[in-house]
Structure 1
Amino acid sequence: MSYLSTHVRVVGALLVREMATRFGSKPGGYIWALLDPASHILLMTFIFRAIARAPALGTSFALFFATGYIAFQFYQAMTSYLNSAVRANKALLSYPNVAPIDTIVARFVLQVCTTTLVAFIVLGTIVATMRVDTYLHWPAILEAISMACLFGLGVAMINAVLFLKYPLYEQVFSIVNRPLFLISGVFFLPDSIPAPYRDLVLINPLVHVIMGFRKGFYPEYRAIGLDMTYLYGIAFLTLFAGMLVFTLSRKTLRNE
Protein backbone atom coordinates (compact mmCIF):
# COMPACT_ATOMS: atom_id res chain seq x y z
CA MET A 1 0.00 0.00 0.00
CA SER A 2 2.85 2.39 0.84
CA TYR A 3 4.44 1.56 -2.54
CA LEU A 4 1.21 2.48 -4.32
CA SER A 5 0.70 5.67 -2.30
CA THR A 6 4.28 6.72 -3.11
CA HIS A 7 3.67 6.38 -6.83
CA VAL A 8 0.34 8.21 -6.56
CA ARG A 9 2.12 11.15 -4.92
CA VAL A 10 4.88 11.04 -7.53
CA VAL A 11 2.36 11.01 -10.38
CA GLY A 12 0.50 13.91 -8.77
CA ALA A 13 3.71 15.94 -8.50
CA LEU A 14 4.65 15.12 -12.10
CA LEU A 15 1.16 16.08 -13.25
CA VAL A 16 1.48 19.53 -11.66
CA ARG A 17 4.94 19.90 -13.22
CA GLU A 18 3.66 18.88 -16.67
CA MET A 19 0.79 21.36 -16.45
CA ALA A 20 3.17 24.19 -15.56
CA THR A 21 5.62 23.19 -18.30
CA ARG A 22 3.05 22.68 -21.03
CA PHE A 23 0.58 25.48 -20.36
CA GLY A 24 2.66 27.86 -18.23
CA SER A 25 1.35 30.11 -15.52
CA LYS A 26 -0.61 32.27 -17.98
CA PRO A 27 -4.04 31.42 -19.41
CA GLY A 28 -2.72 31.78 -22.97
CA GLY A 29 -1.43 28.21 -22.93
CA TYR A 30 -4.86 26.83 -22.14
CA ILE A 31 -6.49 29.05 -24.76
CA TRP A 32 -4.12 27.74 -27.45
CA ALA A 33 -5.07 24.14 -26.56
CA LEU A 34 -8.61 25.12 -27.54
CA LEU A 35 -7.82 27.37 -30.51
CA ASP A 36 -5.63 24.81 -32.28
CA PRO A 37 -8.37 22.20 -32.94
CA ALA A 38 -11.03 24.87 -33.37
CA SER A 39 -9.00 26.58 -36.11
CA HIS A 40 -8.42 23.27 -37.94
CA ILE A 41 -12.13 22.45 -37.85
CA LEU A 42 -13.08 25.96 -38.97
CA LEU A 43 -10.62 25.82 -41.89
CA MET A 44 -11.88 22.40 -43.05
CA THR A 45 -15.46 23.63 -42.78
CA PHE A 46 -14.81 26.66 -44.99
CA ILE A 47 -12.89 24.66 -47.60
CA PHE A 48 -15.38 21.82 -47.98
CA ARG A 49 -18.41 24.09 -47.77
CA ALA A 50 -17.01 25.92 -50.81
CA ILE A 51 -16.66 22.73 -52.88
CA ALA A 52 -19.62 20.62 -51.68
CA ARG A 53 -23.30 21.27 -51.10
CA ALA A 54 -23.63 19.06 -48.04
CA PRO A 55 -21.33 17.05 -45.75
CA ALA A 56 -21.04 13.30 -46.13
CA LEU A 57 -23.19 12.87 -43.02
CA GLY A 58 -25.85 15.11 -41.53
CA THR A 59 -26.33 18.77 -42.40
CA SER A 60 -23.49 20.47 -40.51
CA PHE A 61 -20.00 20.59 -42.01
CA ALA A 62 -18.62 21.77 -38.66
CA LEU A 63 -20.07 18.83 -36.73
CA PHE A 64 -18.95 16.30 -39.34
CA PHE A 65 -15.34 17.46 -39.31
CA ALA A 66 -15.30 18.06 -35.56
CA THR A 67 -16.40 14.50 -34.82
CA GLY A 68 -13.66 13.18 -37.10
CA TYR A 69 -10.92 15.53 -35.92
CA ILE A 70 -11.63 15.25 -32.18
CA ALA A 71 -11.88 11.45 -32.30
CA PHE A 72 -8.56 11.30 -34.15
CA GLN A 73 -6.95 13.67 -31.63
CA PHE A 74 -7.65 11.29 -28.75
CA TYR A 75 -5.05 9.05 -30.42
CA GLN A 76 -2.78 11.52 -32.20
CA ALA A 77 -2.35 14.01 -29.35
CA MET A 78 -1.85 11.10 -26.95
CA THR A 79 1.03 9.54 -28.85
CA SER A 80 2.64 12.89 -29.70
CA TYR A 81 2.69 13.93 -26.04
CA LEU A 82 3.55 10.58 -24.45
CA ASN A 83 6.27 9.51 -26.87
CA SER A 84 8.79 11.79 -25.17
CA ALA A 85 7.50 11.41 -21.60
CA VAL A 86 10.51 9.47 -20.31
CA ARG A 87 13.08 11.48 -22.25
CA ALA A 88 11.65 14.82 -21.12
CA ASN A 89 11.79 13.77 -17.46
CA LYS A 90 15.16 12.01 -17.65
CA ALA A 91 16.72 14.08 -14.86
CA LEU A 92 13.97 13.10 -12.43
CA LEU A 93 14.60 9.37 -12.96
CA SER A 94 17.78 9.68 -10.92
CA TYR A 95 15.51 9.77 -7.87
CA PRO A 96 14.67 6.20 -6.76
CA ASN A 97 11.03 7.03 -6.03
CA VAL A 98 10.41 8.21 -9.59
CA ALA A 99 9.80 5.33 -12.00
CA PRO A 100 9.63 5.63 -15.81
CA ILE A 101 5.98 4.53 -15.76
CA ASP A 102 5.13 7.51 -13.54
CA THR A 103 6.06 9.91 -16.33
CA ILE A 104 3.80 8.04 -18.74
CA VAL A 105 0.85 7.95 -16.33
CA ALA A 106 1.15 11.67 -15.51
CA ARG A 107 1.14 12.69 -19.16
CA PHE A 108 -1.64 10.22 -19.97
CA VAL A 109 -3.93 11.71 -17.33
CA LEU A 110 -3.15 15.27 -18.41
CA GLN A 111 -3.71 14.52 -22.10
CA VAL A 112 -7.00 12.69 -21.52
CA CYS A 113 -8.28 15.61 -19.43
CA THR A 114 -7.08 18.20 -21.97
CA THR A 115 -8.56 16.51 -25.04
CA THR A 116 -11.82 15.76 -23.19
CA LEU A 117 -12.18 19.40 -22.14
CA VAL A 118 -11.47 20.58 -25.68
CA ALA A 119 -14.00 18.06 -27.05
CA PHE A 120 -16.70 19.28 -24.65
CA ILE A 121 -16.14 22.93 -25.54
CA VAL A 122 -15.77 22.54 -29.32
CA LEU A 123 -18.47 19.92 -29.89
CA GLY A 124 -20.74 21.47 -27.27
CA THR A 125 -20.54 24.85 -29.00
CA ILE A 126 -21.30 23.32 -32.41
CA VAL A 127 -24.25 21.26 -31.13
CA ALA A 128 -25.65 24.22 -29.17
CA THR A 129 -25.61 26.47 -32.22
CA MET A 130 -27.20 23.93 -34.58
CA ARG A 131 -30.79 24.51 -35.58
CA VAL A 132 -31.53 20.79 -35.55
CA ASP A 133 -31.72 18.89 -32.26
CA THR A 134 -28.87 16.41 -31.86
CA TYR A 135 -29.30 13.18 -29.96
CA LEU A 136 -26.09 12.01 -28.29
CA HIS A 137 -25.52 8.32 -27.71
CA TRP A 138 -22.98 8.48 -24.89
CA PRO A 139 -22.04 4.76 -24.73
CA ALA A 140 -20.80 4.86 -28.34
CA ILE A 141 -18.91 8.11 -27.74
CA LEU A 142 -17.21 6.94 -24.56
CA GLU A 143 -16.39 3.54 -26.05
CA ALA A 144 -14.63 5.12 -29.04
CA ILE A 145 -12.73 7.57 -26.83
CA SER A 146 -11.59 4.79 -24.48
CA MET A 147 -10.28 2.64 -27.31
CA ALA A 148 -8.47 5.59 -28.92
CA CYS A 149 -6.78 6.46 -25.62
CA LEU A 150 -5.76 2.86 -24.86
CA PHE A 151 -4.43 2.35 -28.38
CA GLY A 152 -2.50 5.61 -28.17
CA LEU A 153 -1.11 4.65 -24.76
CA GLY A 154 0.11 1.30 -26.06
CA VAL A 155 1.79 2.87 -29.09
CA ALA A 156 3.40 5.56 -26.92
CA MET A 157 4.83 3.04 -24.44
CA ILE A 158 6.45 1.12 -27.28
CA ASN A 159 7.75 4.36 -28.81
CA ALA A 160 9.17 5.61 -25.50
CA VAL A 161 11.50 2.61 -25.49
CA LEU A 162 12.29 2.36 -29.19
CA PHE A 163 12.91 6.11 -29.57
CA LEU A 164 15.70 5.83 -26.97
CA LYS A 165 17.19 2.63 -28.36
CA TYR A 166 16.88 3.34 -32.06
CA PRO A 167 16.92 7.04 -33.06
CA LEU A 168 16.26 6.10 -36.68
CA TYR A 169 12.96 4.49 -35.66
CA GLU A 170 11.71 7.87 -34.44
CA GLN A 171 12.14 9.29 -37.94
CA VAL A 172 10.51 6.26 -39.54
CA PHE A 173 7.52 6.43 -37.17
CA SER A 174 7.07 10.12 -37.91
CA ILE A 175 6.96 9.46 -41.65
CA VAL A 176 4.56 6.52 -41.34
CA ASN A 177 2.30 8.23 -38.79
CA ARG A 178 1.93 11.49 -40.73
CA PRO A 179 -0.56 10.34 -43.42
CA LEU A 180 -2.88 8.72 -40.84
CA PHE A 181 -4.84 11.97 -40.61
CA LEU A 182 -5.72 11.70 -44.28
CA ILE A 183 -6.66 8.00 -44.35
CA SER A 184 -8.50 7.56 -41.06
CA GLY A 185 -11.89 8.91 -42.12
CA VAL A 186 -11.68 12.47 -40.80
CA PHE A 187 -12.69 13.89 -44.22
CA PHE A 188 -14.76 11.03 -45.58
CA LEU A 189 -16.96 8.06 -44.72
CA PRO A 190 -15.29 4.67 -45.25
CA ASP A 191 -18.75 3.35 -46.15
CA SER A 192 -18.62 5.31 -49.40
CA ILE A 193 -15.41 3.67 -50.62
CA PRO A 194 -16.02 0.78 -53.04
CA ALA A 195 -14.67 -2.70 -52.37
CA PRO A 196 -11.94 -3.92 -52.21
CA TYR A 197 -10.40 -0.57 -51.23
CA ARG A 198 -12.80 -0.20 -48.31
CA ASP A 199 -11.44 -3.43 -46.81
CA LEU A 200 -7.94 -1.97 -46.96
CA VAL A 201 -9.05 1.23 -45.25
CA LEU A 202 -10.79 -0.73 -42.51
CA ILE A 203 -7.50 -2.36 -41.50
CA ASN A 204 -6.65 0.98 -39.87
CA PRO A 205 -8.06 0.82 -36.28
CA LEU A 206 -8.44 4.59 -36.17
CA VAL A 207 -11.07 4.34 -38.88
CA HIS A 208 -13.18 2.28 -36.46
CA VAL A 209 -12.53 4.82 -33.68
CA ILE A 210 -13.90 7.66 -35.81
CA MET A 211 -16.85 5.61 -37.11
CA GLY A 212 -17.78 4.58 -33.58
CA PHE A 213 -17.43 8.15 -32.33
CA ARG A 214 -19.65 9.48 -35.11
CA LYS A 215 -22.34 6.90 -34.32
CA GLY A 216 -22.72 8.70 -31.01
CA PHE A 217 -23.68 11.91 -32.82
CA TYR A 218 -25.60 10.56 -35.81
CA PRO A 219 -28.32 8.02 -34.88
CA GLU A 220 -29.02 7.44 -38.58
CA TYR A 221 -25.41 6.51 -39.34
CA ARG A 222 -25.23 2.81 -40.24
CA ALA A 223 -21.41 2.68 -40.07
CA ILE A 224 -21.05 -0.22 -42.51
CA GLY A 225 -17.82 -2.03 -41.76
CA LEU A 226 -17.50 -0.87 -38.16
CA ASP A 227 -16.03 -3.72 -36.11
CA MET A 228 -15.65 -2.87 -32.41
CA THR A 229 -14.38 -6.38 -31.68
CA TYR A 230 -11.49 -5.76 -34.06
CA LEU A 231 -10.84 -2.36 -32.45
CA TYR A 232 -10.87 -3.85 -28.95
CA GLY A 233 -8.46 -6.57 -30.04
CA ILE A 234 -5.99 -4.15 -31.64
CA ALA A 235 -6.17 -1.66 -28.75
CA PHE A 236 -5.62 -4.23 -25.98
CA LEU A 237 -3.00 -6.13 -27.94
CA THR A 238 -1.05 -2.91 -28.53
CA LEU A 239 -1.43 -1.93 -24.88
CA PHE A 240 -0.20 -5.35 -23.72
CA ALA A 241 2.79 -5.15 -26.08
CA GLY A 242 3.56 -1.65 -24.83
CA MET A 243 3.41 -2.68 -21.18
CA LEU A 244 5.60 -5.72 -21.88
CA VAL A 245 8.25 -3.75 -23.80
CA PHE A 246 8.19 -0.97 -21.21
CA THR A 247 8.51 -3.35 -18.25
CA LEU A 248 11.38 -5.30 -19.80
CA SER A 249 13.23 -2.05 -20.54
CA ARG A 250 13.04 -0.35 -17.15
CA LYS A 251 16.82 -0.34 -16.68
CA THR A 252 17.35 0.95 -20.19
CA LEU A 253 14.85 3.77 -19.64
CA ARG A 254 16.67 4.88 -16.51
CA ASN A 255 20.20 4.59 -17.85
CA GLU A 256 19.97 5.27 -21.59
Structure 2
Amino acid sequence: MEWLKKHIRVTISLMIREMSTRYGGKPGGYLWAFIDPIAHVGFMTFIFHAIARVPALGSSFALFFASGYLPYMFYSSMAGFINGAIKANRSLLSYPIVAPADVVVSRYFVQILTSSFVGFLVLFLVAAEDNLSVFGAIQLEKVVAASLMATLLGLGVGAANIALFARSSLYEKVFGIITRPMVLVSGVFFIPDSLPHPFRDIVLYNPLAHVIMWFRSGIYPEYRAAGLDVSYLVEWTASALFIGALLFTMSAQELREG
Protein backbone atom coordinates (compact mmCIF):
# COMPACT_ATOMS: atom_id res chain seq x y z
CA MET A 1 0.00 0.00 0.00
CA GLU A 2 2.88 2.37 0.80
CA TRP A 3 4.33 1.59 -2.63
CA LEU A 4 1.05 2.59 -4.27
CA LYS A 5 0.81 5.82 -2.27
CA LYS A 6 4.35 6.72 -3.30
CA HIS A 7 3.58 6.31 -7.00
CA ILE A 8 0.31 8.24 -6.68
CA ARG A 9 2.18 11.18 -5.11
CA VAL A 10 4.84 11.03 -7.83
CA THR A 11 2.21 10.86 -10.56
CA ILE A 12 0.32 13.88 -9.19
CA SER A 13 3.56 15.87 -8.96
CA LEU A 14 4.43 14.96 -12.54
CA MET A 15 0.94 15.97 -13.70
CA ILE A 16 1.36 19.42 -12.14
CA ARG A 17 4.77 19.74 -13.79
CA GLU A 18 3.42 18.69 -17.20
CA MET A 19 0.57 21.19 -17.05
CA SER A 20 2.89 24.03 -16.08
CA THR A 21 5.55 23.30 -18.71
CA ARG A 22 3.48 22.11 -21.68
CA TYR A 23 3.42 24.62 -24.55
CA GLY A 24 5.71 26.78 -22.43
CA GLY A 25 7.61 27.93 -25.50
CA LYS A 26 4.53 29.06 -27.41
CA PRO A 27 2.60 32.34 -27.10
CA GLY A 28 -0.41 31.72 -24.90
CA GLY A 29 1.25 28.77 -23.16
CA TYR A 30 -1.19 26.03 -22.15
CA LEU A 31 -4.05 27.90 -23.84
CA TRP A 32 -2.65 26.63 -27.13
CA ALA A 33 -4.11 23.21 -26.26
CA PHE A 34 -7.56 24.81 -26.62
CA ILE A 35 -6.85 27.30 -29.40
CA ASP A 36 -5.49 24.71 -31.82
CA PRO A 37 -8.57 22.39 -32.12
CA ILE A 38 -11.00 25.32 -32.15
CA ALA A 39 -9.04 26.95 -34.98
CA HIS A 40 -8.82 23.62 -36.80
CA VAL A 41 -12.59 23.02 -36.71
CA GLY A 42 -13.23 26.63 -37.71
CA PHE A 43 -10.87 26.42 -40.67
CA MET A 44 -12.36 23.14 -41.93
CA THR A 45 -15.86 24.55 -41.57
CA PHE A 46 -14.96 27.62 -43.63
CA ILE A 47 -13.32 25.58 -46.41
CA PHE A 48 -16.02 22.93 -46.79
CA HIS A 49 -18.86 25.41 -46.41
CA ALA A 50 -17.50 27.13 -49.50
CA ILE A 51 -17.46 23.97 -51.65
CA ALA A 52 -20.53 22.06 -50.44
CA ARG A 53 -24.17 22.94 -49.81
CA VAL A 54 -24.88 20.71 -46.83
CA PRO A 55 -22.77 18.47 -44.58
CA ALA A 56 -23.08 14.68 -44.71
CA LEU A 57 -25.05 14.74 -41.46
CA GLY A 58 -27.35 17.42 -40.05
CA SER A 59 -27.31 21.04 -41.12
CA SER A 60 -24.22 22.37 -39.35
CA PHE A 61 -20.82 22.04 -40.99
CA ALA A 62 -19.13 23.00 -37.73
CA LEU A 63 -20.88 20.25 -35.76
CA PHE A 64 -20.17 17.64 -38.44
CA PHE A 65 -16.44 18.38 -38.47
CA ALA A 66 -16.25 18.74 -34.70
CA SER A 67 -17.89 15.31 -34.32
CA GLY A 68 -15.20 13.84 -36.57
CA TYR A 69 -12.17 15.81 -35.44
CA LEU A 70 -12.71 15.54 -31.66
CA PRO A 71 -12.61 11.72 -31.39
CA TYR A 72 -9.61 11.69 -33.74
CA MET A 73 -7.97 14.31 -31.52
CA PHE A 74 -8.54 12.14 -28.43
CA TYR A 75 -6.43 9.44 -30.09
CA SER A 76 -3.78 11.48 -31.93
CA SER A 77 -3.04 13.94 -29.13
CA MET A 78 -2.76 11.07 -26.63
CA ALA A 79 -0.46 8.98 -28.83
CA GLY A 80 1.70 12.00 -29.64
CA PHE A 81 1.93 13.17 -26.03
CA ILE A 82 2.80 9.69 -24.76
CA ASN A 83 5.41 9.22 -27.51
CA GLY A 84 7.56 11.97 -26.03
CA ALA A 85 7.04 11.13 -22.35
CA ILE A 86 10.49 9.70 -21.67
CA LYS A 87 12.46 12.20 -23.78
CA ALA A 88 10.77 15.16 -22.09
CA ASN A 89 11.37 13.80 -18.58
CA ARG A 90 14.76 12.13 -19.02
CA SER A 91 16.40 14.13 -16.22
CA LEU A 92 13.74 13.05 -13.69
CA LEU A 93 14.40 9.36 -14.32
CA SER A 94 17.76 9.70 -12.60
CA TYR A 95 15.82 9.80 -9.32
CA PRO A 96 15.03 6.25 -8.09
CA ILE A 97 11.61 7.35 -6.84
CA VAL A 98 10.47 8.23 -10.39
CA ALA A 99 9.69 5.19 -12.56
CA PRO A 100 9.24 5.36 -16.36
CA ALA A 101 5.65 4.17 -15.88
CA ASP A 102 4.93 7.17 -13.61
CA VAL A 103 5.86 9.53 -16.43
CA VAL A 104 3.53 7.76 -18.88
CA VAL A 105 0.61 7.55 -16.43
CA SER A 106 0.91 11.24 -15.52
CA ARG A 107 0.89 12.22 -19.19
CA TYR A 108 -2.15 10.01 -19.83
CA PHE A 109 -4.21 11.75 -17.15
CA VAL A 110 -3.06 15.24 -18.14
CA GLN A 111 -3.99 14.60 -21.75
CA ILE A 112 -7.36 12.99 -21.04
CA LEU A 113 -8.33 15.94 -18.82
CA THR A 114 -7.16 18.41 -21.46
CA SER A 115 -8.92 16.63 -24.34
CA SER A 116 -12.15 16.29 -22.35
CA PHE A 117 -12.25 20.00 -21.57
CA VAL A 118 -11.35 20.86 -25.18
CA GLY A 119 -14.12 18.58 -26.46
CA PHE A 120 -16.71 20.20 -24.20
CA LEU A 121 -15.54 23.69 -25.12
CA VAL A 122 -15.60 23.02 -28.88
CA LEU A 123 -19.09 21.53 -28.77
CA PHE A 124 -20.31 24.41 -26.60
CA LEU A 125 -18.92 27.01 -29.03
CA VAL A 126 -20.36 25.16 -32.05
CA ALA A 127 -23.77 24.98 -30.41
CA ALA A 128 -23.67 28.67 -29.49
CA GLU A 129 -22.52 29.76 -32.95
CA ASP A 130 -25.14 27.73 -34.86
CA ASN A 131 -27.94 28.05 -32.27
CA LEU A 132 -28.08 24.28 -31.83
CA SER A 133 -29.40 22.32 -28.87
CA VAL A 134 -26.52 19.85 -29.11
CA PHE A 135 -26.25 18.94 -25.44
CA GLY A 136 -29.93 18.06 -25.20
CA ALA A 137 -29.62 15.49 -28.00
CA ILE A 138 -26.26 13.98 -27.05
CA GLN A 139 -26.17 10.32 -26.00
CA LEU A 140 -23.46 10.89 -23.43
CA GLU A 141 -22.63 7.22 -22.87
CA LYS A 142 -21.63 6.77 -26.53
CA VAL A 143 -19.58 9.98 -26.65
CA VAL A 144 -17.73 9.16 -23.42
CA ALA A 145 -17.15 5.51 -24.36
CA ALA A 146 -15.79 6.39 -27.82
CA SER A 147 -13.55 9.11 -26.38
CA LEU A 148 -12.21 6.80 -23.66
CA MET A 149 -11.52 4.04 -26.19
CA ALA A 150 -9.63 6.54 -28.36
CA THR A 151 -7.42 7.59 -25.45
CA LEU A 152 -6.67 3.96 -24.51
CA LEU A 153 -5.79 3.15 -28.11
CA GLY A 154 -3.50 6.19 -28.13
CA LEU A 155 -1.94 5.07 -24.84
CA GLY A 156 -1.16 1.63 -26.23
CA VAL A 157 0.32 2.97 -29.45
CA GLY A 158 2.26 5.65 -27.57
CA ALA A 159 3.71 3.18 -25.04
CA ALA A 160 4.85 0.85 -27.82
CA ASN A 161 6.38 3.75 -29.71
CA ILE A 162 8.42 4.86 -26.69
CA ALA A 163 10.25 1.54 -26.79
CA LEU A 164 10.44 1.32 -30.58
CA PHE A 165 11.53 4.94 -31.09
CA ALA A 166 14.35 4.38 -28.60
CA ARG A 167 15.58 1.41 -30.61
CA SER A 168 15.26 2.81 -34.13
CA SER A 169 15.23 6.38 -35.39
CA LEU A 170 14.28 5.00 -38.82
CA TYR A 171 11.10 3.48 -37.39
CA GLU A 172 10.21 6.84 -35.86
CA LYS A 173 10.46 8.51 -39.27
CA VAL A 174 8.56 5.74 -41.07
CA PHE A 175 5.80 5.79 -38.42
CA GLY A 176 5.39 9.55 -38.89
CA ILE A 177 5.12 9.20 -42.66
CA ILE A 178 2.61 6.34 -42.50
CA THR A 179 0.33 7.92 -39.89
CA ARG A 180 0.36 11.47 -41.26
CA PRO A 181 -2.51 10.86 -43.74
CA MET A 182 -4.52 8.93 -41.12
CA VAL A 183 -6.84 11.87 -40.55
CA LEU A 184 -7.88 11.67 -44.22
CA VAL A 185 -8.88 7.99 -44.10
CA SER A 186 -10.53 7.76 -40.68
CA GLY A 187 -13.88 9.35 -41.48
CA VAL A 188 -13.25 12.85 -40.15
CA PHE A 189 -14.35 14.47 -43.42
CA PHE A 190 -16.84 11.84 -44.60
CA ILE A 191 -19.11 9.02 -43.47
CA PRO A 192 -17.69 5.54 -44.21
CA ASP A 193 -21.24 4.22 -44.72
CA SER A 194 -21.56 6.34 -47.87
CA LEU A 195 -18.46 4.93 -49.59
CA PRO A 196 -18.88 2.36 -52.38
CA HIS A 197 -17.51 -1.16 -52.15
CA PRO A 198 -14.61 -2.01 -51.71
CA PHE A 199 -13.47 1.37 -50.32
CA ARG A 200 -15.96 1.20 -47.47
CA ASP A 201 -14.60 -2.16 -46.33
CA ILE A 202 -11.01 -0.92 -46.58
CA VAL A 203 -11.74 2.14 -44.44
CA LEU A 204 -13.50 0.00 -41.83
CA TYR A 205 -10.28 -1.94 -41.21
CA ASN A 206 -9.08 1.27 -39.56
CA PRO A 207 -10.06 1.19 -35.85
CA LEU A 208 -10.17 5.00 -35.77
CA ALA A 209 -13.05 4.93 -38.25
CA HIS A 210 -15.05 2.97 -35.65
CA VAL A 211 -14.08 5.44 -32.91
CA ILE A 212 -15.41 8.34 -35.01
CA MET A 213 -18.58 6.50 -36.06
CA TRP A 214 -19.31 5.60 -32.43
CA PHE A 215 -18.73 9.20 -31.32
CA ARG A 216 -20.92 10.59 -34.12
CA SER A 217 -23.75 8.17 -33.30
CA GLY A 218 -23.83 9.81 -29.87
CA ILE A 219 -24.01 13.31 -31.38
CA TYR A 220 -26.59 12.56 -34.09
CA PRO A 221 -29.53 10.44 -32.84
CA GLU A 222 -30.58 9.78 -36.45
CA TYR A 223 -27.16 8.37 -37.45
CA ARG A 224 -27.30 4.55 -37.52
CA ALA A 225 -23.55 4.06 -38.14
CA ALA A 226 -23.86 1.04 -40.41
CA GLY A 227 -20.61 -0.88 -40.23
CA LEU A 228 -19.73 0.18 -36.69
CA ASP A 229 -18.17 -2.77 -34.87
CA VAL A 230 -17.45 -1.96 -31.22
CA SER A 231 -16.06 -5.46 -30.58
CA TYR A 232 -13.48 -4.96 -33.36
CA LEU A 233 -12.46 -1.63 -31.80
CA VAL A 234 -12.17 -3.16 -28.33
CA GLU A 235 -9.99 -5.97 -29.71
CA TRP A 236 -7.68 -3.47 -31.42
CA THR A 237 -7.45 -1.36 -28.27
CA ALA A 238 -6.78 -4.35 -25.99
CA SER A 239 -4.09 -5.60 -28.39
CA ALA A 240 -2.45 -2.16 -28.54
CA LEU A 241 -2.43 -1.87 -24.75
CA PHE A 242 -0.99 -5.37 -24.31
CA ILE A 243 1.75 -4.90 -26.91
CA GLY A 244 2.51 -1.39 -25.64
CA ALA A 245 2.76 -2.55 -22.02
CA LEU A 246 4.91 -5.54 -23.01
CA LEU A 247 7.40 -3.52 -25.09
CA PHE A 248 7.51 -0.72 -22.54
CA THR A 249 8.11 -3.09 -19.62
CA MET A 250 10.85 -4.95 -21.49
CA SER A 251 12.57 -1.62 -22.23
CA ALA A 252 11.98 0.09 -18.86
CA GLN A 253 15.54 -0.27 -17.57
CA GLU A 254 17.01 0.77 -20.89
CA LEU A 255 14.73 3.81 -20.98
CA ARG A 256 15.80 4.86 -17.49
CA GLU A 257 19.46 4.62 -18.34
CA GLY A 258 18.97 6.51 -21.61
TM-score, with length taken from structure 2: 0.96
Q: Which residue of 2 aligns with 1:10?
A: 10
Separation in 2, partners of 1:129, 1:18: 32
Equivalent residue in structure 2 for 1:230, among 229, 232, 235: 232
Alignment of 1:229-248 (within 5 A): 229-248=231-250
Unaligned runs of 5+ in 2: none
* Aligned 8 A contact 2:68 2:189 in 1: yes
CA deviation map 1:105-133 (0-9, x unaligned): 11111111111111111111212343443
CA deviation map 1:171-212 (0-9, x unaligned): 011001101011111100001101111110000000000000
Displacement after TM superposition at 1:246 (Å): 1.0
Separation in 1, partners of 2:27, 2:256: 34
Alignment of 1:202-213 (within 5 A): 202-213=204-215
* Aligned 8 A contact 2:26 2:32 in 1: no
Equivalent position amino acid for 2:145 in 1: E
- Return closer, same or farther for 1:79/1:26 CA change in 2, 3 Å cut-off: closer
Displacement after TM superposition at 1:222 (Å): 1.1
Alignment of 1:30-45 (within 5 A): 30-45=30-45
Segment drifting more, 94-103 vs 23-32: 23-32
Q: Which residue of 2 aligns with 1:90?
A: 90
The 3-state SS of whatever aligns with 2:22 is helix
Displacement after TM superposition at 1:23 (Å): 4.3
Displacement after TM superposition at 1:25 (Å): 11
TM-score, with length taken from structure 1: 0.96
Identity of counterpart residues, as a percentage? Answer: 52
The 3-state SS of whatever aligns with 1:194 is coil
Q: Do residues 199 (structure 1) and 214 (structure 2) align? A: no
Segment drifting more, 154-163 vs 120-129: 120-129
Equivalent position amino acid for 2:125 in 1: T
Separation in 2, partners of 1:161, 1:23: 24
Displacement after TM superposition at 1:31 (Å): 2.5
Q: Which residue of 1 aligns with 2:81?
A: 81
Segment drifting more, 54-63 vs 6-15: 6-15
What root-mean-square deviation, in Å, do the aligned CA atoms of Structure 1 and Structure 2 show? 1.5
Displacement after TM superposition at 1:24 (Å): 4.2
Q: Which residue of 1 aligns with 2:143?
A: 141
CA deviation map 1:143-185 (0-9, x unaligned): 1011101100000000011111111111011001101011111
Equivalent position amino acid for 1:118 in 2: V
Equivalent position amino acid for 2:246 in 1: L
- Return closer, same or farther for 1:254/1:34 CA change in 2, 3 Å cut-off: same
Equivalent residue in structure 2 for 1:216, among 215, 218, 228: 218
The count of corresponding residues between Structure 1 and Structure 2 is: 256
The 3-state SS of whatever aligns with 1:178 is helix
Alignment of 1:126-205 (within 5 A): 126-134=126-134, 135-205=137-207
Separation in 2, partners of 1:77, 1:6: 28
Equivalent position amino acid for 2:87 in 1: R
Equivalent position amino acid for 1:60 in 2: S
Q: Which residue of 2 aligns with 1:123?
A: 123
- Return closer, same or farther for 1:28/1:209 CA change in 2, 3 Å cut-off: same
Displacement after TM superposition at 1:26 (Å): 10
Unaligned runs of 5+ in 1: none
Q: Which residue of 1 aligns with 2:67?
A: 67
Q: Which residue of 2 aligns with 1:250?
A: 252
* Aligned 8 A contact 2:19 2:30 in 1: no
Q: Which residue of 1 aligns with 2:105?
A: 105
Separation in 2, partners of 1:157, 1:111: 14
